[in-house]
Amino acid sequence: MIGLTHYITDKKFMFISHFRAGLYVVLGCWLPAGINAAEWSAEVGFESSFYLHSGPQGQSKVHPSVRLEAEYYRDWKGGQESFTFSPLLVLDGQDSERTHWDIKELAWIHVDDGWEIRSGIRTVFWGVMETRHLVDIINQTDQVMNFDGEDKLGQPMVNLSIDQSWGTLDLYIMSFFRDRTFAGKDGRLRGPLIVDTDNPRFESGNNRNRIEGAIRWHQYFGDFDIAVSHFSGTAREPVFELQGALIGGTFIPNGMVTPVYPVIDQTGLELQYIYEGWALKAEAISHYGHAGRYNAAVFGFEFTQSGLYDSRIDLGWVVEYSYDEREEQAPVGIAEHDLAIATRWSLNDVESTEMLIGVIADESSDELVFFLEGSRRLGEYWKLIVESRIFVGGDPLPQDLPSVLTQLSNADPDNKLGYLQDEDFLRVELVRYF
Amino acid sequence: MQIITKMHVFILLGAMIFGGSVQANQTKLSDTQQKGLDIATEAERRNDGFIDNRAKLTMILRNKRGDTSTRLLRVRTLEGENDAVDGDKSLMIFDSPRDQKGSALLTYSYKFKPDDQWIYLPAAKRVKRIASRNKSGPFVGSEFAYEDFNTPVVEKYKYDYLRDEQQQEQDCYVIERYPLDKYSGYRRQVVWLDKQEYRVLKIDFYDRKNSLLKTLTINDYALYSDRYWRANNQAMINHQTGKSTELKFSDYRFKTGLRDVDFSINSLKRAR
């Protein structure tokens, strides 16, 4: 045992030292003298998701996982040049699709007078809303990480950012498309059909190597913020094609779907107006792809009551309404006319205790999704994060394949969350920071 | 007296812009009000021309039982270019607690309107604008409110001179200042400034109900560039909760070549 531990420790050490040595060699070639700061930081998350029911296809109620995330940062020339490397590794006890790794950041930033150039793998966020990120499109969603879709995969790019009195203009050239991750056979929060992530199809003849472009202009005038953006490339969100075989002239499905990534053009608009404790916000997109054009919008406000009843507590109200022009033709999971109401509680204590509690309601059906996200720091190096979703008002979908297919081909627009009715969960993550 | 005349014009301008929401005394100040304003103006004048500075900040949060929690920050300040309307720009970067490492807070302060504030959330790679009204809230769980951190701009208060008094064994002016911002968490503040250098040594903060809320004691001043006094130590005690927060500044550097681009929203995403 001792020998083994020793061996592992040694090996780990060797890995790190090799790795560092390698990095120094790589960087050493173009790193001039005068390095300001170089640092490593890391976090390890121990997570478990507890589901109220077993999955419709017999998936487990308990899903433990470990997440390792690190960051190396170094800058020189007084911060004018910087380099960031941030890898992610997730090991999931149940779902082999959720066991994955990613390079979230591997980028060099050069800052100059009024412009900067950022090259490499990066994560970029666009938008102003809280419950739905319509305009955000640069990065692929790391769907297996979290149901809320806020986790992203690193996107290779060159980004020129021009910062002038007339605003900030960002130009992006991207390639090496990242496939969306999807829960596997043993994973939860998925539809009845398995997404065949190993065999995606692309509308673009260059598959993942299509050169994509994006542009965004952002400016603020006093309390008013505006951003206009355009993206041209492969959609981050696939459409699905039923898999199967033709046997004797009859299509026999195999229970899987192929993700198909179309080529799209999407124009986005972001607006925000701050007035005293209010933030009025809106995002809108116009999307053009294989199935024509559609528009969608989300708008609402965030109002914060600072120092609730003379306490230290801040209570924020988030109200957002989503509209999708496709209405009932909108794919499953798309908020075509949904209202989200949430309260954000910030205790402003030493532990930075925060909680977001809310509900998303489909105005035309009885479907409701209750959500809770909370966090609290435990000492200097630990943090507890809890998250929960409860799905109410939909009818569970049938389980046998023929009925599933009938259901899907004749989907009930008022039962879009039917497939999630047994997926109520509580997720607890304990994070250690290094 | 030229400064004072300029002051009047500014207050008047401010009152015009805000349609009278600024309850400044545009017409005639009483002798003690005039003296209070003169002292505040002189204190600000003595800090003029610092251009920019950088410092490291350790915050020690202490609860009633004496348990402590520490935060490490770096602070950068750029003096406003246009003295007539601009206040300073400041950037605070968090190194700890570790879960907030990389978060940064950017503030543009103005003389006649509420500050603009943005926060960078590194996990989401997102810059979020903060509604200007929410400045009376506690800063990262400490006994300091957001508004306590901002360099006080003369035009944001009205003043009254109270008395002369000894504080930290120095002869001091004691003045009272009333925030003009209706969303300030304070009704008034009593400020002790030493007569020699016009450095703030102590502030009593009175809440909206006019009861004593907090006391800030500032000491261990050091002189930089032969002109600018900066305190290495600030201690805020909350009388209503028994909690306290200590600020320890170190590695002060002046005229470090910071520019507007180092305080842009774009730069917030890569602030280190």
| Chain A hits for B100, Cβ within 8 Å | 352
Instruction: Strands of A136-249 (E only): list them.
Output: 155-164, 167-174, 194-195, 201-202, 212-221, 224-234, 239-247
Instruction: Provide the shortest C-alpha distance from residue A167 to chain B (in Å).
Output: 10
Q: pLDDT tens digits, residue range B233-266?
A: 999 999 999 999 999 999 999 999 898 888 999 8
Using a CB–CB cutoff of 8 Å, tell me whether A345 touches chain B: no
Beta bridge partners of B62: B68, B244
B265 Rama class: left (phi>0) / alpha (psi -120 to 50) / beta: alpha
Bridging pattern class, strands B157-167 and B170-179: antiparallel
CB atoms B266 and A276 under 8 Å: no
Share the mean pLDDT of chain B. Answer: 86
Local structure of A385: helix, strand or coil: strand
Query: Locate tokens 């990066």: which residue?
Result: A122
Q: pLDDT tens digits, residue range A271-285?
A: 999 988 899 999 999
| Chain A hits for B270, Cβ within 8 Å | 79, 82, 109, 111
Which of A405-414, B79-88, B93-102, B166-175 is predicted with the least confidence, judged by mean pLDDT?
A405-414
Probe site for chain B from A44, A164, A350 (most B CB atoms < 10 A)? A350
The pLDDT score that the predictor gives to residue B19 is 39
CB atoms B132 and A377 under 8 Å: no
Q: What is the pTM of this model?
A: 0.85
| Chain A hits for B70, Cβ within 8 Å | 380
CATH number of A31-433: 2.40.160.10
DSSP result, B70-92: EEEEEEEEE--SSTTTEEEEEEE
Tokens representing residue B121 in the block? 């959330």
DSSP H or E run through A25: helix A2-28
- Residue of chain A minimizing CA distance to B113: A222
Q: Where are the domains of chain A?
A: 1-30, 31-433
- Residue of chain B minimizing CA distance to A107: B270
Average pLDDT for A401-415: 67
Using a CB–CB cutoff of 8 Å, tell me whether A318 touches chain B: no
The CB-side HSE value for A264 (13 A sphere, CA atoms) comes to: 25
Name the pLDDT band for A326 (thresholds 50, 70, 90): confident
Taking Cα atoms as reference points, which of B202, B151, B195 lies closest to residue B176? B202
A93: exposed, middle or buried (C-beta count within 10 Å: 0-12, 13-18, 19+)? middle
Q: What is the CATH number of the domain that holds B29?
A: 2.50.20.10
The pLDDT score that the predictor gives to residue B135 is 72
CB atoms B132 and A150 under 8 Å: no
What total number of domains does chain B contain?
1
Which is more confidently placed, A127 or A29? A127
* Contact present, B10 and B24 (Cβ < 8 Å): no
Beta bridge partners of A382: A378, A432
Taking Cα atoms as reference points, which of A103, A127, A130, A161 lies closest to residue A266? A127
* A168 → closest Cβ in B61, B266, B270: B266
Complex prediction ipTM: 0.84
CB atoms A352 and B140 under 8 Å: yes
The pLDDT of residue B146 is above 90 = no
Name the pLDDT band for A420 (thresholds 50, 70, 90): confident
* B266 → closest Cβ in A163, A225, A383: A163
Share the mean pLDDT of chain A. Answer: 87
The pLDDT score that the predictor gives to residue B59 is 96
Which of A1-5, A240-244, A261-265, B8-12 is predicted with the least confidence, judged by mean pLDDT?
A1-5
A 209-268 near B (Cβ less than 8 A): 218, 220, 223, 225
Structural domain containing residue B126: 2-268
